[in-house]
Structure 1
Amino acid sequence: MASSRMIDADEVAKHNKTDSCWVVLYGKVYDVTGFLPSHPGGANIILQLAGKDATEEYDPIHPTGTLEGNLPPEALIGTVDAKSLAKLAPEAVKPNKTSEGLPQLSSLLNMDDFEQVASKQLTQKAWAYYFSGADDLISKSLNHSIYQSILLRPRVFVDCKECSLATTMLGHKLDIPIYASPTAMARLAHPTGEAGIAAACAKFGAMQMISNNASMTPEEIVKDAPADQMFGWQLYVQIDRKKSEAMLARIKKLKAIKFICLTLDAPVPGKRELDERTKSIAATPAIADIVKSSGGHELAGGSGLGQQLFAGTDPSLTWKDTLPWLLKHTDLPIVLKGIQTHEDAYIASLHSPQIKAIILSNHGGRAMDTAPPAVHTLMEIRKYCPEVFDRIEVWIDGGIKRGTDVVKALCLGAKGVGVGRNALFSLAAGGIPGVKRMLEILSAETRTAMRLLGVERVEDLGMQHINARAVEQQLYDGGSGLDGLRRTMKAKI
C-alpha cells in the first residue's frame, strides 16, 4: 500500500456515506467502501467514523498487520497533512479519564484498589468492555463471593519459615500457580498491551495465555520473553476454518507457545448490557444521522465490543468433529477452556492424552448469567468423578481477588489459577509495574495463607486445609449420569 497523493481534510470529511466511505488511519486515507459489508464488527462501527480520523478508535484494538490483511493495496488513496488532522477528530464524547495523577503503586494493597484506579483511567468504552458481565451480573458476582463461603483451617506449631509456590503445568516449571487468563484488547488499558502483561509474568515465573482477540500479534507479545517463559494460545474457531488453520500454522512457529487453549464457554456472545450501551463509541446525534442516512437501510453491526469480537466465530463445535479437526492442524497439547459441569469434565478426560488439561470457567460471568462459578464445577468433579484429576490437569479461573482464593482453589484440586480482569485493571493502573505489583500482592498473600496453614509446597494443599460444607449444600444433586461413559471407558482400557 503506497500513495503520495495529499488530500485536504475537508475533502475527506465529505466521504461519510455507504456509497463512498473514507477513514483516516495513522495519517493515511483509506477508501473502505467495499469493505463495509464484510467488516467483522459490522458496517455501522466504520460508518460512525466515516470521513474522520479513526486512529484513536482503531489502534488499541487491532494488531499489527490487520490493515494489510483485510484491505487491498488500492484502498490506500493518499495522506492528510498532519496540521489538518484535528479537523477530522470524531465527534464522540472523549474518555472520562480523571485529571488526578496515578497513585503510588505501593499504596495499592488489593485487587479492588486496582479496579478503582482503572475505573478512573480507562475510557468509557474500555471500562464497559472489561467490567461488563452477562445480564444481571449474578455469575460475575458469585465467581468471587463463593470463595468467601469456604473457610480455611490453620494449623499451629508448624515450622512455616520456608514456603515455595513453585509448581508445574503441562510438565513446565513455573514459579507461581497463578497465570494470566486470555483477555482481549489489552492495549485499551495501556499502550504496552499484552506484551506488558508478558513482561510482568516473566518477572514472577508465571504463565500467560494469549487471547485470540489480542490487540498485538503473538509474535510481538512473545518477542522479548525469556527462553523459559511459558505461553498458551487461545483459539476461537472461525466459521471460515482456513483463518483458524492459518493462525495455528503461525502459532506452530513460535517456540514460546506451549499449548492451544480451545475456548468453549462462549459459543455465542452473552448479553453484556453495560458494554452494549456504550456501543463502539459514545454516539452523538450527528453520528446517528450519518448512520441513518447511509444508504437508506439499516446495516448490521454497531453493538458493543463483545458482540463485535464474536463476529465470524463458529457456534457449531462438537466433540465428534472439532477435536479431530484441531488435531490435524496442531501437534501442541490441547487445553479445553469453559468446562462448567462434571459431565463435560469427565468426557474431556476420556480424550486424554490428546487433551492434557481443562479450565473450569464461566467466561468471567460474561456468557450465561447464573451459570455456576468454577468452584462449583471443581467440587462437582470431586463428588462425582474424582478420577478426572488423575487423567488430566484441572485449572480454574474467575473471581480470584485474594491469595486465600488461590489457596482454596488449589486445596480443591486445581493445578493452576487464572486471573483476567486483575491483569487488565493493574495494567491500566500502572502499566508493566502495575501488573508486577498485582502479581506481587497475590503471590505474597498466597504464601502467607500457606504458611498459616502449615504448608510448605502447593502440592501438599488439600481438602484437610479447608471447610467447604457451606458450598456443598449448593452443588448439583441430580446424580452423576456417568454410568454409560464409565462402561465406555472400561471398554477402551
Structure 2
Amino acid sequence: MGHGMSKHASLESCWVILYGKVYNVTKFLSHHPGGSTAILQLAGQDATEDFDLIHPRGTLEDHSELVVELGDIDVDSLPKSPKEPDASQRGEIDIPMSSLLSLDEIEELAARQINQKGLTYYASATDDQLSKRLNNQVYRSILLRPRVFVDCTDCDLSASFLGQKLGLPVFISPAAMARLAHPTGECGIASACSEFGALQIISHNASIAPEDIVKAGKPGQVFAWQLYVLKDIKRTEAFLARINKIKEIKCICLTVDAPFPGKREDDVRFKNSELRNVDAGKAQEWGTEGGLTWARTIPWLRSHTSLPIIVKGIQTHEDAYIASKYAP
C-alpha cells in the first residue's frame, strides 16, 4: 500500500505500522490502558520497536475487534527517525556486575546504561517525589538487632509464603515493562530468581506473556501475578482465566491504590518531548476501573479465581482492618 501515513496521526484517524503491516487503531485509542497519548505519539510511524518493548505476544489478537489490519508496507522505504544512542555509542564503560558491591552502585550504573525513555519510567515518581524520598529514608532507618553466640556454620535463608517454600525472604515487586531495561525483560528476572528461589510477582503490564515468563524459571519455581482491574471487566476476567491455568502462579496480588494514574512528572515530561503537534485528547486517561469497592470487588474476584488473594497497596491500619472483614 502507499504511504500517506502522516495523514493518519490524530484522534479522528490513527494508523500505526507494526511488523511490516499497517493497522488502523482509531477505535482502540479510548480503550488503551495507558491512554491515547502513548499511541498518538507514534501515529503515522513504524511503532514496532516501541510496541515490542512493552507488549507481550498476543496483544494485537486480544484487541482484534478494535484494531483493523489494512495491509502490508515496505518499512525500508520509510524515512528513518534518529535513534537515541545506546550505552556503547555514548562511550559508557562496560562494568562487570560482579564488581558492583551494593544496590546503590547497581542503580548508579543502570542510570548510565538505560536509555532515557526507560530511565524516566523506572526512576520517576508521583508529583514532587516526596513519598519516594520518604520510602528510601524509612528503609534506611531500619536497623538490625544482631543476636550473638548462635551457630552460623549452616545458615538457612529459606522462608514459607502462603504454604510455598522460598529460598529467600525477598520477592521481586511487579514493575512493569521490564524490556525497557533489558531485552530479556521479565524472563531475565525469572531466570535470576530461579538461582536463589526468590518469588517473582509478575506485573499485569509485563512486556512478556506470563506463560512465557514462568517457562524461563526452573521446575517448582514460585510466581505471583499482579492484577489491575480494568474498565473492560470482561477482558480482565479473560486474563484471570489465563492466569488460573498457569500452575506456577500461586496467588493474585490485587492492586487497590491506583484508581487513577499518578502524575509522574519526569515520565510525563519525557513523553511530552516526544509528542508532535497532535491532539492527544484528555491529558490523563487510564484503563483501570475507578469504581472498585471492598463490598463488590473482593467477592467478584473470588468468583473468578481459587488462588489466594493478596491486597496490594493498603497504607492505613483502618483499611487493613476493613480488608480483614472482607477476607474471602
Q: Given the two structures, how large is their TM-score scaled by the length of structure 2?
A: 0.90
Aligned-partner Cα distance in 1 for 2:148–2:11: 72
Q: After superposition, give the CA deviation of every residue in 1:107-133 in whole Å (9 maximum; x if it has no partner).
A: 111111111111122221211111111
Aligned-partner Cα distance in 2 for 1:67–1:113: 39
Aligned-partner Cα distance in 1 for 2:86–2:183: 17
Aligned-partner Cα distance in 2 for 1:36–1:138: 32
- Give the corresponding residue for 2:34: 41
1:324 matches 2:299: yes
- Give the corresponding residue for 2:281: 299
- Give the corresponding residue for 2:252: 260
Query: In structure 1, the residue corresponding to 2:94 is in which secondary structure?
Result: coil
Aligned-partner Cα distance in 2 for 1:143–1:124: 24
Percent of residue pairs bearing the same amino acid type: 55
1:346 matches 2:321: yes
- Give the paired residue count: 326
Query: Are the aligned partners of 1:35 and 1:71 in contact in 2 as well (CA < 8 Å)?
Result: no
Shift, 1:256, TM fit: 0.6
> Aligned to 2:131, which of 139, 143, 148?
139
> Aligned to 1:167, which of 155, 159, 165?
159
Query: Are the aligned partners of 2:21 and 2:69 in contact in 1 as well (CA < 8 Å)?
Result: yes
Amino acid at match of 2:274: A
1:216 matches 2:208: yes
1:333 matches 2:303: no
Matches of residues 261-280 of structure 1 in structure 2 within 5 Å? 261-279=253-271
Q: After superposition, give the CA deviation of every residue in 1:425-450 in whole Å (9 maximum; x if it has no partner).
A: xxxxxxxxxxxxxxxxxxxxxxxxxx
Query: Are the aligned partners of 2:229 and 2:236 in contact in 1 as well (CA < 8 Å)?
Result: yes
Amino acid at match of 2:314: I
Shift, 1:61, TM fit: 1.4
Amino acid at match of 1:129: Y
Q: After superposition, give the CA deviation of every residue in 1:92-112 in whole Å (9 maximum; x if it has no partner).
A: x73674332421111111111
Shift, 1:232, TM fit: 0.8
Query: In structure 1, the residue corresponding to 2:160 is in which secondary structure?
Result: strand
Shift, 1:176, TM fit: 0.6
Relative to its length, the structure with more helix (as a share) is 1
Query: In structure 1, the residue corresponding to 2:22 is in which secondary structure?
Result: strand
Query: In structure 1, the residue corresponding to 2:198 is in which secondary structure?
Result: coil
- Give the corresponding residue for 2:168: 176
Against the structure 1 CA distance between its residues 194 and 47, is the aligned structure 2 distance closer, same or farther, given a 3 Å change threshold?
Answer: same
Query: Are the aligned partners of 2:34 and 2:287 in contact in 1 as well (CA < 8 Å)?
Result: no
Stretches (4+) displaced over 6 A:
none
Aligned-partner Cα distance in 1 for 2:171–2:219: 17
Query: Are the aligned partners of 2:27 and 2:66 in contact in 1 as well (CA < 8 Å)?
Result: no
Against the structure 1 CA distance between its residues 37 and 341, is the aligned structure 2 distance closer, same or farther, given a 3 Å change threshold?
Answer: closer
What do you get for the CA RMSD once the two structures are aligned?
A: 2.4
Amino acid at match of 1:80: I
Amino acid at match of 2:323: A
1:30 matches 2:23: yes
- Give the corresponding residue for 2:122: 130
Whose relative contact order is higher, 1 or 2, with alpha carbons under 8 Å and at least 6 apart?
1
Higher radius of gyration, 1 or 2:
1
Aligned-partner Cα distance in 2 for 1:242–1:83: 39
Query: In structure 2, the residue corresponding to 1:151 is in which secondary structure?
Result: coil
Structure 1 alignment gaps of length 5 or more = 1-6, 293-297, 302-306, 355-493
Aligned-partner Cα distance in 1 for 2:150–2:63: 62
Amino acid at match of 1:31: N
Query: Are the aligned partners of 2:16 and 2:44 in contact in 1 as well (CA < 8 Å)?
Result: yes
Query: Are the aligned partners of 2:225 and 2:252 in contact in 1 as well (CA < 8 Å)?
Result: yes
- Give the corresponding residue for 1:447: none
Shift, 1:71, TM fit: 3.5
- Give the corresponding residue for 2:84: 94
Against the structure 1 CA distance between its residues 34 and 345, is the aligned structure 2 distance closer, same or farther, given a 3 Å change threshold?
Answer: closer
Aligned-partner Cα distance in 1 for 2:31–2:216: 35
Matches of residues 47-58 of structure 1 in structure 2 within 5 Å? 47-58=40-51
1:283 matches 2:274: yes
Q: After superposition, give the CA deviation of every residue in 1:363-402 in whole Å (9 maximum; x if it has no partner).
A: xxxxxxxxxxxxxxxxxxxxxxxxxxxxxxxxxxxxxxxx
Aligned-partner Cα distance in 1 for 2:116–2:63: 28
Aligned-partner Cα distance in 2 for 1:197–1:204: 11
- Give the corresponding residue for 1:69: 62
1:104 matches 2:96: yes
Against the structure 1 CA distance between its residues 37 and 182, is the aligned structure 2 distance closer, same or farther, given a 3 Å change threshold?
Answer: closer
Shift, 1:14, TM fit: 4.5
Query: Are the aligned partners of 1:95 and 1:124 in contact in 2 as well (CA < 8 Å)?
Result: no
Query: In structure 1, the residue corresponding to 2:137 is in which secondary structure?
Result: helix
Against the structure 1 CA distance between its residues 193 and 158, is the aligned structure 2 distance closer, same or farther, given a 3 Å change threshold?
Answer: same
Structure 2 alignment gaps of length 5 or more = none
1:186 matches 2:178: yes
Shift, 1:51, TM fit: 2.1
Against the structure 1 CA distance between its residues 224 and 151, is the aligned structure 2 distance closer, same or farther, given a 3 Å change threshold?
Answer: closer
- Give the corresponding residue for 2:235: 243
Aligned-partner Cα distance in 2 for 1:134–1:77: 39
